[in-house]
Structure 1
Amino acid sequence: MSCVIDAIVGKILDPIFDFLFTSIGRQIGYLVKYKEKEVNDLKGVRDRVQAAVNRARDNGMTIEKDAEKWLVEVLQSLMTLEEELNNSLQDKANLKCLDVCSRYRLGKKGKEMVMEAIRLKEDRNKFGDEVAHPTPLKDIWYTSSTGYENFDSRKLVFEEIMKALSDDKNSKIRIYGMPGVGKTTMVKEVGKQAGKGPFDEVAMAVFSQNPDLKTIQGKLADCLNLKLDKESEEGRAGQLYNRLKNGKKILIVFDDVWDDQITLEKIVIPADIVNSMGCKILLTSRRQEVCNRMGFEKSFPIGLLSAPEAWHLFKRMVGDFIEVDPEIQSIAKQICRECDHLPLAICAVGGALSGEKDKHVWNDAVEQLKHCQGYKIDGVEEKVYSCIEWSYRYLKQADVQSCFLHCSLFLEDSEISIGSLVYLGVGMKFLESTDTTSMKKARDRTHVMVGILKKSSLLLEGGKEHMFKMHDVVRDVAISIASKPPNLFLVKDGVGVWPDKDEYKSCRIIFIVASSNVRKLPDQLDCQGLRTLVLRCTDHEFLELPNSFFEGMEKLEVLVLRKMKLAASSLSNLASLRMLSLEDCELVNPSFLNELKNLEILIIGQIYKSKEMVFEK
């Protein structure tokens, strides 16, 4: 009887089980395909986010923490999901060998995987399209203060400045002292410490002798992570104003201010921002009388180093070996005294003599420094001049000397890239040719030369890799040296009136930054010996170059233009031109550039043109 019942039950249940096996198997098949689709979709989303993150990192941006966290979580989950997906594909192939319970567990696990992939895709939407934000630049401008020496003669002043900044009664503070005494180094260290303490943010801009307000506005905006999209100075000032009144305590540092007629309004910092909204001004100047109209509550002079401090700094630059040999030590102390306790002079001379153990060199150095006559430059002490000039003369290789002088052809207080110097060097022939192999050699040589000049303290570290700077006083000396034969440079920053012909007619190299006051250029420059011309305009409007401007410049080899409007046909007679750089220029009939048969280097920034540019070369 039981056998009969089993047979009857079996006949009833077999179709049911067949149906369940078939139905569950079909559902598992669909689920595996859906799971595979969701995992691949998640990979696609991951790849897009990772690509955006890579682009942001290449642009120096900071990745958002939730984006980074999501990528890490996806990476970990995908490892598990892909492993389980492979197992699911295998289980699907072996489906007939599985019982109902095993198939159920497989389906449940597959559903969990699908839900995990969907959850991760939905989490992607939580941080929107922005995976990164601009990296704050406030930490970059004081990178050169990492080697700050807290000498006793500076310690008290530093503490008094920090105390004054913490006092709500003081909103405007001034530091002054002769060039080369260490004001910029001091103020960078102040900014560094202030950013860690009483202030939420610190912004810094360098004024220099010929300040450009738009450039200053741009530097402040960079430090404050503010994007300025207005063209006029007034519009950009309004954007800065709105940024500064956000309730944060902000220290604004203005370095190397010359103009004694300057006002807060002129530098786009309205009085109400300073007086009532937590914003404070810290200013440095070479002259005590500068900016008296701004009403500073506190002023601090930076003096010379004491004799022991000067000797300590000189030893640090040269090496402790100078105290081992009594004869070299005696000469070294004489040379240190010749530097007049000025940090910049000590660093220039000490850097040049770093590691030098030949007594003849030391004897020659002290004699040259004793009899070196400093050339008078406005704002530069004669002793500083003579020490920097001696350090330049001491450079043993001619191309390194040439590299030093050519670094003066970049804007004052600007960060200079190795790449820009390479192109300039090749174009001006103080570096070798331009084929692929020799360009690499030129870049390598440039790195070496810049390294030598940094070691001699004639160049400074930049805020980023492959960038460097030239101290404004060192640049002034370099310009003065380069203006004399055989170099014959003419370097003019922020000129309001075009130079007289007698000033430039014999020059080999001309670098001019024209201010907004220059509205018209001469019809013809007529400078037959000119080899290099760098012409930049600081105004937001283009400065038009007359068609005949380049006549008489047949020997011109390097031409660098910024914010100029010109017809490319006006360049057609420049048969010797090897390098052409056009940045933010308006170019008419650009196809005429094909006529420049000797052109080897063409650098084009933003160009406004009336016809499509076609290059056959």
Structure 2
Amino acid sequence: MDCASLVLAPLLSSFQNAAQAGLSFLWDLVAQGAGNHFHLGTNADALALEAMELLEERDDLLAQLAAQEGRCRARTHQVKGWLERLDALRAEVAAFESAFERRATCLEGCSLSALPTNYRLGRSAADLLRRVRELRAQRQGMAEVVGPAPPEPVEAVPCSAAPIVGGEGTLAEIRRLLWDAAAGIIGLYGMGGVGKTTLLTEINNELLAGADHGFDMVIWVTISRDLSVPRIQKQIGDRLGLSLSVEGSMSERVRENAKKLFDRMSERRKFLLLLDDVWEKLDLEEIGIPYPSSRNQCRIVLTTRSRDVCARMDAKVEVKVSCLDPEDSWRLFSEKIGAEVDVRGPYLRPLVEAVVAKCGGLPLALITVARAMAHAASAGEWEEAVEVLKDSPEKLSGMEEEVLSLLKFSFDRLRDETLRQCLLFCSLFPEDNNIDAEKLVEYWIGEGFLDARFHVSIDRAHNRGLVIIRELKAACLLENGSLAGFGRNVVSLDEDEYVRMHDTVREMCIWLTAGECDGSNTFLVHSGKGLTGAPSAQHWEDAKRISLMQNDLVALPNQIPCCPALLTLLINLNSHLRSVPCTIFSLMPALCILDLSFTSLEEIPIEIGLLLQLRYLNLSATKIRSLPKQIGKLVKLRQLILRGTTKLGRIPQGAILKLSNLQTLNLFGSTYEWTWWSEQSEGGGQHGDGVGDSDGEPQLSLKDVQTLEQLSDLGIHITTSSCLEGFLSSRKLLECTRFLRVMVPDFAAANDLSEAFPSMGRLKRLEFFDCLELKGDLIICSGGRLPNLEVLYLCDIPRATQVVVGMASSLLPRLRILTLQQCHSVRDLTWVACQLPCLEKFYFLQNDPIEELVGEIGDEIDCKACFFPKLKLLSLESLPRLRSISKCPLLFPALEQLEVSRCPELRRLPLGPCSAKKIKVIRGEQEWWIALEWHSPEDTVRSTFLPRFRPWGV
């Protein structure tokens, strides 16, 4: 074999094999095409039949899904894919059937020219038939058509269809905070029934309606009063579609489920957790909730009745949900009462307004009362409703079950019985009354709420009282005082000085103490009702506490039954009451508190000595001329308050010195003339510096007072040099004095005063009046601090050239109120601006020479930053030469009220575009205001403050 044969032989063999394979493939293709062509009609009929059967199977499947799908069950991914493929195949089958019908009607359907069409249709019919059979086989192979449903991003929470009334501003604030990366945990707090849950529900359902809310999952959890971690975990697990462990011990299940929840919630990169009705701190880690952070962008919004819960939950933002104002209260009430009652009619409207006012803006009370009155069309029915709400609100339909009982849950959840009793005591004050916090704590001490278990000092008991006030405020059962009770000229109020009780909370307390809930804790409350006669004596017998304060009583019953349980009797603020029956005190053996202050009593019956359990006696602002010596029998008396007794001239030595437990003796503002020492003269009367009375009974002296071992709280008014000198020499008196008024015209030893101040660490209020001989520098505290001084009043000290408080701002760290009047030699008050960090009110009156309030300011002082940081009220009066408060504008970051009267030369205020952002009122003469010049830019500054100006008398 030659070389060509050796090369070509393999090539020819390979070519032959390839040709045979190609011919075989072409033959199979032709055979298959021919088969499809020849079986086209058969396949088309089979396709039509099986496609119809497939659709029937689809309909059966859809019916099965409709029956089995629900809140927690959804069609499987297999079913979803099968239905999607079926829909696509239906479209192809429909296209084939259309083409096949056109072929059947064509005359050339069997001609040679139709062979390509038949070939395509035959191939399509065979392919579609195969795919239909595959889908039917897949349907037969489906074991489960539904499975656990993946959770929806937001689920609806049932709510009223009516729009929110009055909470729009709070709702907008919550919406804004949801987008604030730094918010983290947001706490909504407020009293029961104020609408916290309604706001949270609105937020949830708004997110449901809006697609672009930014959260992967919104989870609603109702916490309820009895905290249960497993129950909380179950609510969250159900919402996430997560099966939680039910095996093992409780602690093991909690730990295991916490890990599952944490892992699942971490997968949901950005969640919003809505926690409703939180009563105590939740341990997020124990439950399994990832802590919100700027990294994971998660949020928690909680509602609670206690602000303390917000703090313990580490809420970055606390939003108080307040009661409605009168306008929104009327709007809500009108919406809820329906169209059957014409609340706007001239006859009904005043009565309806009275009913609405009694609800105090509490939405739940408004809604409940509106439902109860929905069919009350007559004036008589509304008049009766007003009276019922005044005297027995629980008798109005729905009030006890829906409102008072709801608030009682907050009452029951208070920390201990002491807090509950302290709250109930507040109901003794008149409705809508500002309650002096200091006096309230004094009462609590008198009752023994704060020191019954331990014989603690007045100071410690007082501090406990302030803590309780804070806790009751945090629980939204007490509120800050209201400006409404102080007249239109008051625009700011120290939130720690007064508290008040919401009307509905007070009604709840009166309901609890009416005798039906607890017969052993019955109150008789008739305060602030304008009574001219005392209530029937028969109601006194079972009462534990009686309040007749703030009425127009002219007399008390001459005969009352024995009151063995009576602990507190408040008859103060009855200006027409001139006497007390002498027999009354023999019938109250357990009495602890007796307040007769601000009455016109001229004499105290000697039978007061029978009140052997008395711990608190207040005779302030009465017209008594002497104290009966029988007061000395009140061996348990701890607080004796005689403030403002302007006619008091005699205090027998024996009336006070026998009071071995006396801790508070307050005669601040009394005209009792103190001497340093007293002794009994041979024939009575005076002997040397001592004082006796006509019966030979020595009168109380300051030297006597310092022998009271338990005394820690003293208020006095000194009017003689000898008495002042003795006072300044007594370390005991200096250390326990809280209220001091010095009114000694001939006293000139300013240095002696300055040296005494470091020992007066308890001093709260200091006043100098008519100290005409005091001259030079009046040094208040340069050698030591007055850490508790809150009020300083300097009046008619014409020769004192300067008031010096030292260089450090910490020397008077609590001074809130400063008054300088007729201090004509004082020329520079820069120290007021920069050395009193807590000054809130500054009154400067009747100083003829001063031309500038704040002197030249060195470069080292940033006048805009450090001057008057907390000043709320600045009052300038009768300063004829005053030209300037400050040469540069001041920030006045807290200023709310500025008063200027009779300052004709003051042409410019230290206010710029960035000054006094909180200002509410500027008062002055109209002519003065028009003549004012302003810092540049003048028009901007004037227009900023013009709406705040009020002429005097307007």
TM-score normalised per structure 2: 0.32
Higher relative contact order (CA 8 A, sep 6+): 1
Larger-gyration structure (1/2):
2
TM-score normalised per structure 1: 0.47
